[in-house]
Structure formats: C-alpha cells, structure tokens
Amino acid sequence: MINKEKLLNSLHSLRTVALSCRLHHLATAYPKTYFALVLAVALTGYGFLLLFPLLSIVAVTQLVEAANVAPFTVSTLSEVLVWVAVFIFSVAISHHILTVKFELPKGVVLPTAMAPKLFDLIENVEDGSFWHKLFRPKFNNVLLSEQFELGIQKTPVNGIPLWSKNTLVIGFPVMQTMTAYYFECALQRKLLQYCKGRNMLTNWIYQLRETWLLYPKAFSQRKLLGEQLIVWFFKWYAPVFQKLSLYTAQQEELAADTITLREINDSDLFKTIQNQLVGQYFFHKIYLPMFINRIKAKGEHPAKLNPYSVLPTVFRKTVDEHRSKQWLEELQKNPRNTGTPVPTFSQRMHNIGQSKIRLPKLEQQSAAEHYFGAHYPKAAQVMDNFWRHKISRQLKPRRKPSAAATALPNIRMKALAG
C-alpha cells in the first residue's frame, strides 16, 4: 500500500530541488536579472510596512479635500466615512509596526570579566586597517551560543528595519574545536564581512534574510487587532525571500572570503576554513548524534550529561589527520549546497585559489581554553546547563523531567565572573 505522507514528502522534495535548479540557472546564466529580482523582492517587505503610514497620509489628504467640498451630500458623507475607517485602520497598524519589540538572540550573555582576552581580541582584531576599524560594526552584546555558529545578528529597533542592535554570536563549540589563531582569523573574516563601505547591497540583502524571519513571531506575541495581517504576510514572504536570495547570500560569503585575503594570507585563510569545517562536521555528524542517541536509545537523562565540558577532549581523541582529510574530501565532492547560504567547500577553495587540501595543525589547546583561561570550566558548565534545559524542554511531551532538568539556567555569567 502506498504511503500518502511519504509520497507527498517526496513530491515536495522534488519540487524544491526543481525550483532550486531553476534559480541556480537564473543566477549563473543571468546574474544581473537575478540580482534585480532579488533586490525587488527585498524591497517588497519595506513597501508592505511603509504602505500603512502612506495610507494614513492619503486618508488625511482625502478628508481635508472632502471637508472643502460644498455642498455636503450623502455621497460625500459616505466617502468621508470610508476614509475615516482607512485612517483609523492604517494608523493602528502603523502604531503596531513602530512599537513592536523583537526578541534578542538566545544564548548566554558574556560579560567582559569572564573572558577579557576574548574581548581584547574583538576590539583589536582589525588594528592593522584604519578603514576597517572605523567602519566595523559596533556590538550591543556578545552572546555565547550552544550551536556551531559564528555570526552577527541584527535585531531591529522597531518594525521598520532601518536601525538595529548588533549581537556578536559565538558558538561555544566553534571555540572548542578551533585553535586560538584560526578562531582569530575566522572572527576577523566575519567582522570584515559586516564592515560598512564594502559590498553594501549584497550584505544588506544577506542581513535581511534573517531579519524578515523575526517578524511573524514578534507580531504574533501581543495579539493586537490588525497584527494578524502582518503575521500572515511575513509567514508567506520571509520563506519566499529566503529561497529566492539563496545564491546572493552564497556570493556574499564568497566575497567575504575574498575581502579577507587583504588582511590574511591565502594559506592561513584556507586552513581556517578547513579547521571550521572539520569542527562543524565532527559536532553535527558525530558528537551531537552520540548524545541524542544516549538520551533516546539508552534512556539517559540530560541532567547527567556534560556535552560541552568534555567536547575538547573527545575532539582531540577522535579527530586525527586521516579523519580530517577524509571528511574534507567528502565535503569537496559535494557539487552544490541547495539549502544553505554557505557555498560548498570546493567553491570556496576555487574562490581563494586553492586546489589541494592542506590540513591545519590542530593544537592541544582550543580557542575556548585559551580565551577563557581559568574561567573555562565555569563557562563549559553554564553551556552544559543551557543545553540540558533546552533538551529537557524538547522532551517534555514524552517524559516528565526532574526539577534539575527544567530549571532555567542563568543566561548571564555575571555571577560566575567573580
């Protein structure tokens, strides 16, 4: 008997692949047309948000004109009532847009006292270039995440994303699997990518991909009259823009590699990319599945697990030169990334003029151990607690977690810094 659900999933996957192939053809064969299309769709979000303030102005103009009409007839009264309704509705929606509050990224807010070396690195990583130091992004917060990520997340100040709060998000596993030097190179690359004055248009589109995704949740929390219209629009619009702008985002990542070559030599940048990819492969393909299996198959409770405290030790014991080369060769054979803004390993190699894998030397001390110093065990403990809480919440429907597992971890490290 045919499983309808599997059949529908297969058809959906085929449709996604077909659409991706068409977009890839458009992006490669007609790059200017593709970019113009992406730019037009990017501006659609702004157009929708600015529509309501514009309607308010138009309504006021029409009401003023109607007030000057003589004689005042039933037809004029009907027109006035319509424009009054339009004015009230558009003003209400405009108020919702201007007063909405967006959630900041989730993670552990890192105080300077916890990792002074890391904050010194953030401040001084671009001292060699006056231009980049002058125009680099300013951060409102530095956040430690349990995910394998390194990025800058922009949170709009209000519903029209013209001004944002910048949060530097550093994945703790990134620091635990990279050496101090290669982590510094990776951080420098990310800061250079977001510097003002370079590739401003593509970087703006790159940022908007994540910004528009914040809107459905932000506008659905207050449950105010009229906000459902905004929620509905962005639930449809944000995923469409994500898929459409995928290849622009990949070009932005390649441009970030290129601009980094002005500050870091090609050999060090290539080894940084390899170190990051090896760590990511290990974390997602081997390490996390091992802990999830211990919970689901063996029935171990998350409260008894310490994934981040033991990660560097397991990484050093598991990852050797042979495995690193094997994983990188596997990634090199991947012809095209269909769902991620990060280009393939082979694309990045070609972009920076590399043809052969040259493995980085993995040292005994990780970047996390180097930059946190004596505070490293406490930082690992906080991330363990953060992970346990998250996993326990995901398992709530299937099991009743203990009080230790459900307690919300302290998301600020100030208490630990002393």
Residue 140 in domain: no
Residue 75 pLDDT: 77
Q: Does 135 have pLDDT greater than 80?
A: no
Residue 213 in domain: no
Instruction: Compute the distance between CA of residue 274 and CA of residue 276 in angstroms, rounded to an integer.
Output: 5
| Rg of the chain over all Cα atoms, to the nearest angstrom | 25
Residue 409 pLDDT: 43
Residue 215 in domain: no
Residue 358 pLDDT: 87
Average pLDDT, stretch 291-305? 86
Domain end residue (candidates: 40, 65, 99): 99
Show the tokens assigned to 306.
Answer: 């310490």
Residue 259 in domain: no
Residue 228 in domain: no
Instruction: Compute the distance between CA of residue 363 and CA of residue 358 in angstroms, rounded to an integer.
Output: 16
Residue 273 in domain: yes
Q: Does 156 have pLDDT greater than 50?
A: yes
Residue 348 in domain: yes
Number of structural domains (the chain) is: 2
Neighbours of 1 (CB within 10 A): 3
Residue 303 pLDDT: 86
Contact predicate 234/205, CB 8 Å:
no
Residue 152: in which H helix or E strand, if any?
strand 150-156
Neighbours of 47 (CB within 10 A): 10
133 CB-near residues (< 8 Å, 6+ apart): 126, 127
392-416 tens-digit pLDDT: 887 765 544 443 333 334 455 554 4
Domain range enclosing 383 = 266-417
Residue 146 pLDDT: 94
For the residues of 85-143, what is the DSSP string, one character each?
HHHHHHHHHHHHHHH--PPPPPSEEPPGGG-HHHHHHHHHTTTT-HHHHHHSPP-SEEE
Query: Percent of the chain having pLDDT more than 70?
Result: 85
Lowest mean pLDDT among 104-118, 277-291, 326-340, 347-361: 326-340
Residue 137 pLDDT: 74
Q: What is the pTM of this model?
A: 0.85
* Average per-residue pLDDT for the chain: 85
Domain end residue (candidates: 38, 70, 99): 99
46-90 tens-digit pLDDT: 999 999 999 999 999 988 888 787 666 777 788 888 999 999 999
166-189 tens-digit pLDDT: 999 999 999 999 999 999 999 999
Average pLDDT, stretch 361-380? 90
Residue 397 pLDDT: 55
More confident residue, 72 or 25: 25
Domain end residue (candidates: 75, 99, 123): 99
Q: Does 93 have pLDDT greater than 80?
A: yes
Residue 109 pLDDT: 92
Q: Does 19 have pLDDT greater than 80?
A: no
Residue 3 pLDDT: 63
Tell me how many helices (H) and strands (E) the chain has.
20, 4
218-269 tens-digit pLDDT: 999 888 888 899 999 999 999 999 999 999 999 999 999 999 998 899 999 9
pLDDT band at 302 (very low <50, low <70, confident <90, very high): confident
Residue 2 pLDDT: 54
Residue 164 in domain: no
Average pLDDT, stretch 150-175? 93
